[in-house]
């Protein structure tokens, strides 16, 4: 009896305790619901990413249009010194003309024959800017910055347009462009063809522009030239060119104080260039051969050496005297030292080597005073390869005809003799970073002439005599 009562009490207590313990539900239905929700989210993200990728491909290939004002990734930048400068020229005040130009470019980019390269399209019309525009004798000229876009990629194109004076936008014709050029200068040349030609240079607003005509080599050993440019706003030079073909391309120089920003010839012709087959050249070569009998140069190489010297110095064949001071075969290639002298002018020494298989290279350009030029020894630094890229510590020295001996003085060291060969030339050891002077003496010990050895030129874009490395006078 007592045991039954105790057992019943125990069972009751256990049931009460069991009722107080929470039994977990089956976890699978909850897991299944969560997984279904995650799957729907993943599918939605996948669809969204796929849609974005399709749109990006469409945008990048210009299938899907992107507003011109939308930001992009610049792949090339036009010179900020031009883009950030205020517009220059009289046309900048013609708002109606400018608005028509922007509208035409933004709706039909084939203005005057200009087409953006490849799949590039013109971007926001409001970002089309006139950098320079004016009416000049015989021409209306406009330099326009045009924003281009291919999908998310952007760049600027600086485009020249030219038309007759007072031209409407529809009369403009494409005349050249530059894209992604880090050079802060834009140039345009329209050669005369029965009417006046035109040269325009647009540089930074704080720069000075000169456009040079034919040079004059003075008897004292300097080069002078007439500046044809007249300013048309800050940093702009304009030159009206003659209707007849020019003898050589005009030279352009853009500087900021003493700092040279740009120096190059203006392409665009036409030019009355040196004609290697013309009667003036034939007569000049005949005189050269008479003055240097028995020289080992091949005719084709002599002709190329002379033509190169005349073209580089911008001198005509008629009225110019050319002499071969020295010639030889070096490493199987013809080499020569020439002197070129315009009537009444200074003397330019050119050392060259090469042949018709490997090309020709200029090793020396040196403007000398006319007086005593024939009695000067000439020395130039040799390079370790044909293209003249690597200087060596060797200098070739050519003595004047009457020299009994020649010495070379390196820096402040005492002069040392140069051993001359049968061609009246020799070599001397001179460190490429040290100045040196060569001196020629007569048989009685008198000094015939003395000439510094110039440093190797790294930029031959200018005329001989323009830089201290290409002249002997200060």
Q: Which CATH number fits domain 72-181: 3.30.200, 3.10.450, 1.20.120, 3.30.250?
A: 3.10.450
pLDDT of residue 384: 78
- Looking at residue 179, what is its pLDDT? 72
What would the pLDDT profile of 27-60 be if each residue is shown by its tens digit?
Answer: 666 666 777 776 777 666 665 555 545 444 444 4
**pLDDT higher than 90, residue 395:** yes
pLDDT in tens, 151-209: 888 888 999 999 999 999 999 999 999 875 566 899 999 876 667 889 999 999 999 99
For the chain, what percent of residues have pLDDT higher than 70? 81
Cα–Cα separations (whole angstroms), residue 158 to 109, 147, 443 = 13, 9, 65
Query: What CATH topology corresponds to 183-273?
Result: Immunoglobulin-like (2.60.40)
> Which of helix, strand or coil describes residue 5?
helix
Res 422: pLDDT: 92
| Average pLDDT value for the chain | 85
Residue 73 is predicted with a pLDDT of 63
Q: What is the mean pLDDT of residues 384-412?
A: 87
Residues near 379 by Cβ (< 8 Å), separated by ≥ 6? Answer: 395, 396, 397, 398, 408, 428, 436, 438, 451, 453
Per-domain boundaries in the chain = 72-181, 183-273, 279-470
d(CA 319, CA 468): 27
Terminal CA-to-CA distance of the chain, rounded, Å? 138
Q: Say what the pTM is.
A: 0.64
Confidence of residue 14 (pLDDT cuts 50, 70, 90): low
Least confidently predicted of 223-232, 348-357, 387-396 = 387-396
Regarding beta strands 153-163 and 73-76, do their DSSP bridges make them parallel or antiparallel, or are they unpaired?
Answer: parallel
Which segment of 184-198, 279-293, 447-461 scores lowest on mean pLDDT? 184-198
């Amino acid at each position: 009896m007592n045991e039954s009562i105790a057992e019943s009490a125990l069972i009751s207590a256990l049931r009460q305790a069991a009722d107080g313990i929470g039994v977990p539900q089956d976890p699978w239905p909850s897991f299944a619901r969560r997984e279904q929700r995650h799957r729907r989210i993943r599918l939605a993200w996948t669809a969204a990413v796929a849609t974005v990728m399709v749109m990006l491909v469409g945008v990048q290939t210009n299938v899907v249009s992107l507003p011109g004002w939308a930001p992009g990734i610049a792949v090339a930048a036009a010179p900020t010194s031009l883009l950030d400068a205020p517009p220059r020229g009289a046309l900048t005040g013609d708002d109606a003309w400018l608005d028509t130009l922007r509208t035409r470019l933004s709706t039909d980019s084939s203005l005057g024959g200009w087409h953006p390269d490849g799949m590039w399209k013109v971007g926001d019309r409001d970002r089309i800017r006139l950098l320079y525009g004016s009416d000049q004798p015989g021409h209306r000229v406009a330099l326009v910055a045009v924003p281009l876009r291919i999908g998310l990629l952007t760049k600027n194109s600086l485009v020249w347009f030219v038309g007759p004076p007072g031209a409407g936008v529809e009369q403009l014709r494409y005349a050249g462009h530059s894209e992604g050029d880090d050079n802060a200068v834009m140039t345009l040349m329209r050669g005369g063809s029965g009417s006046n030609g035109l040269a325009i240079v647009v540089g930074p607003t704080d720069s000075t522009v000169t456009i040079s005509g034919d040079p004059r080599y003075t008897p004292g050993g300097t080069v002078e030239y007439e500046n044809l440019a007249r300013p048309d706003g800050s940093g702009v030079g304009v030159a009206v060119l003659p209707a007849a073909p020019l003898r050589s391309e005009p030279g352009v120089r853009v500087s900021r104080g003493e700092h040279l920003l740009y120096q190059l010839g203006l392409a665009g012709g036409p030019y009355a260039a040196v004609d290697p087959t013309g009667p003036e050249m034939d007569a000049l070569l005949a005189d050269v051969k008479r003055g240097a009998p028995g020289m080992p140069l091949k005719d084709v190489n002599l002709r190329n050496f002379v033509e190169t010297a005349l073209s580089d110095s911008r001198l005509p064949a008629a009225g110019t005297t050319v002499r071969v001071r020295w010639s030889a075969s070096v490493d199987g290639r013809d080499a020569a030292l020439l002197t070129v002298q315009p009537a009444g002018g200074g003397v330019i020494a050119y050392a060259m080597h090469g042949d018709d298989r490997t090309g020709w290279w200029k090793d020396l350009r040196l403007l000398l005073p006319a007086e005593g030029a024939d009695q000067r020894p000439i020395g130039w630094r040799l390079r370790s390869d044909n293209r003249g890229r690597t200087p060596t510590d060797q200098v070739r020295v050519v003595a004047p005809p009457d020299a009994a001996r020649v010495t070379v003085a390196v820096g402040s060291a005492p002069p040392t003799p140069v051993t001359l060969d049968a061609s009246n030339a020799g070599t001397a050891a001179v460190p490429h970073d040290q100045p040196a002077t060569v001196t020629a003496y007569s048989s009685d010990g008198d000094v015939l002439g003395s000439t510094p050895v110039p440093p190797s030129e790294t930029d031959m874009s200018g005329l001989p005599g323009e830089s201290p490395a290409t002249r002997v006078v200060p």
